[in-house]
Chains A and B, each alone.
Chain A
């Protein structure tokens, strides 16, 4: 006879094994390791919550300390591999297989572990792609998550950093999995409930608050004039041209520069209210001056940002907040907003090839994707029209008809050279060689060339929508690749012809005076200026306090 409730029985067995370490749902921090040894079994798919922002770091340490003889061959299915403990899981043989999205600081360590055979890599995903697989073939058996506070019934308050938690819990709790939460504190009454208690099995009161990386804080003091020039070109040549109101920004300095010149240069161009009014975006401190100047109507956030809590709380007309007042972020929802409801993505990258493919996987670094490939991709399922979307779609074809679909604007804003004079334009992406070496079935590409509509450099804007074949596209890219070897190998006559057609636009073609590309154009020159724009509500983390 077929048994139809094996998962439910298994869950029951594990809960019973764990019960001796818990009082109700509460487990003391010193029993965390024993709890995990009771609820995790060899070969389990485990989601150890952590992304580019918050980390269930206490539970990560606890899992990394279990006996590999008892628990081994785990399959980690999680957004981020960011902490040393994440790598320890593989180095100690507790985990073997990995499906993830983002690695950031551990990008080199992952490449080494992969080459050394410590990690068996499934795939590198975008965030929502991995989340989607939680509901198909990568459903976690155990989820280890992080909350700001819990009550004894297991209800969780995640504060501004809700991020991935609801999605992870949904996939685990409703498929007979086990959910363990670390909480900064256990209280009788929560400010609000982000995760209902009946979806959470155990609460461990951690001995320290969970870690959050201030990944989206850019010091205006580090923005260069070349970046300001690129920002001016992007605003005049793309935001204004297409009338882009709904958008997402990447995390690089060029987009921080854009945020900081909206209230100055954007104002001079008369664009207030006409562009950049709605964002799918983390609470970027560099957007404070634009918000305070009345540019921004609404922002939905993937996650929180350290130091922005009070500012967000006091600007609830702009941000999504709970009835307790604090930010409610949600990575799954915000990525969906970025995919279907944004007319433009603009962000930086580390390498672009001659077809416009870009990657952050450079030699020896498996950086992961995070959300960029999703933000930076045309959503083929989109059916609602908007002026920028329709305009872009029509530019991409010779003759448009009633059936011509629109296009998302996908803009790469990139300096021609990176650090140490390494060219950002290349004939062949490093990731192609890396895929060969590591025998990956698919070379990691951040944004595919056929999704990219514009590339902005100090040299100008290349509008790839207007290119009619691969050869034109290549010359349009060479034509804005500056003095990199790729740029110097341009065919000058073809590039001149592309410029005459408006496929390439130089700053002078856009009427941009190079003298205006100066730091005085920035609405804030320092983190301290951002604090003062915020009326003292922004509270920057100590590493950004340099005054």
Chain B
């Protein structure tokens, strides 16, 4: 198990007043993400716990791209990863951010 966190500053604070959301499943090739509105201003962070070690650099790229594409200011994402591919990571993070905006 490898754990690390990646921080960023987003271009906006995510609107809405939902406090937390959860999406995805902790299964092989998939991941579960908990999203909480706990950070001040436009800060954002993704905490990763993954069963597959040695891909820190790839996570960094995926998460930075997500920060830029989605601007999830104010949100903390906690990922429980079962070896999801990068596209699945992006999809789950986008889904998590949308839930916090009040998407169904």
Contacts and interface: CB of A to CB of B under 8 A. Distances in A.
Interface of B is mostly: helix
A515 B95 contact: yes
Contact of A514 (B58, B85, B86, B91): B91
A237 interface: no
Given A417-B85, A482-B86, A508-B69, 14 more contacts: A225-B88, A225-B91, A226-B88, A226-B91, A415-B85, A417-B86, A421-B85, A457-B87, A458-B90, A483-B58, A483-B86, A488-B61, A514-B94, A515-B98
Contacts of B88: 224-226
B49 interface: no
Interface in A457-496: 457-459, 482-483, 488
Nearest to B58: A483
Contacts of B90: 458, 482
A483 B65 CA distance: 10
Contacts of B85: 226, 415-417, 421
B62 interface: yes
B104 A515 contact: yes
Contacts of A416: 85-87
A265 to B, nearest CB: 16
B86 to A, nearest CB: 4
Interface in A371-391: none
A457 B103 CA distance: 24
B99 interface: yes
Interface in B2-30: none
Interface in B52-66: 58, 61-62, 65
B61 A515 contact: no
Q: Which of B62, B86, B98, B99 has the most CB of A within 10 A?
A: B86
Interface of A: 224-226, 229, 415-417, 421, 457-459, 482-483, 488, 506, 508, 513-515, 517
Contacts of A506: 69
B86 A513 contact: no
Contacts of A415: 85, 87
A180 to B, nearest CB: 48
Interface of B: 58, 61-62, 65, 69, 85-88, 90-91, 94-95, 98-99, 103-104
26 contacts: A224-B88, A225-B91, A226-B85, A226-B87, A226-B91, A229-B91, A416-B87, A417-B86, A417-B87, A421-B85, A457-B87, A458-B87, A459-B87, A482-B87, A483-B65, A483-B86, A508-B69, A513-B103, A514-B91, A514-B94, A514-B95, A515-B98, A515-B99, A515-B103, A517-B91, A517-B95
Contacts of B99: 515
Contacts of A458: 87, 90-91
A506 B69 CA distance: 10
Contacts of A229: 91
Contacts of A225: 88, 91
Contacts of B91: 225-226, 229, 458, 514, 517
Contacts of A515: 95, 98-99, 103-104
B57 to A, nearest CB: 10
A417 B94 CA distance: 19
A416 B90 CA distance: 12
Contacts of B104: 515
Contacts of A514: 91, 94-95, 98
A497 to B, nearest CB: 16
Contacts of A517: 91, 95
Contacts of B61: 483, 488
A515 B91 CA distance: 9
A457 B95 CA distance: 17
Contacts of A513: 98, 103
A357 B3 CA distance: 39
A488 B69 CA distance: 15
Nearest to B52: A421
Nearest to A488: B61
Nearest to B103: A515
B1 to A, nearest CB: 19
A225 B94 CA distance: 13
Contacts of A226: 85, 87-88, 91
Contacts of B94: 514
A224 B29 CA distance: 10
Nearest to A421: B85
A508 B101 CA distance: 15
A223 to B, nearest CB: 13
